[in-house]
Amino acid sequence: MTEEELEEFQKGLTKTFFLSILHDLGEIEDTLSDYEVKVLIQKALTHHPELQVEWGEMDHFGQNTLLVKYQNNLLLIEVSPLINAIRVLWNEYKNQST
């Protein structure tokens, strides 16, 4: 993969991820738990047709590690900070709007 192709892939993945998260949050009327945010994150990443996404086994990778396979590459992503950020921001927003 060339540098240009990698940059294009990253932009496309970022756009798909954030648009999916925003769309799904727009359909939620309550506050969110960590588990619900994990589901949103996995769902958002699986919208990209070239990615295989699954949660790593807790015994081997910890509680919030995503395994993302792209072509012959495997990426381990510790998503605890992302889960917390989405949950806290969304819950504060929902509490203020009620």
Q: Encode pLDDT of 17-50 as tens digits.
A: 999 999 999 999 899 999 999 999 999 999 888 8
Residue 21: both structure tokens together: 């998260």
Mean pLDDT in residue range 3-27: 90
Determine the average pLDDT of the residues in 69-92: 93
pTM to 2 decimal places? 0.86
Percentage of the chain surpassing pLDDT 70? 99
Q: In this predicted structure, what is the pLDDT of residue 18?
A: 93
Percent of the chain with pLDDT over 90: 68
Going by C-alpha positions, the residue among 93, 50, 95 that lies closest to residue 75 is 50
What is the pLDDT, as a whole number, of residue 7? 87
What is the rounded CA–CA span in Å between residue 37 and residue 95?
17
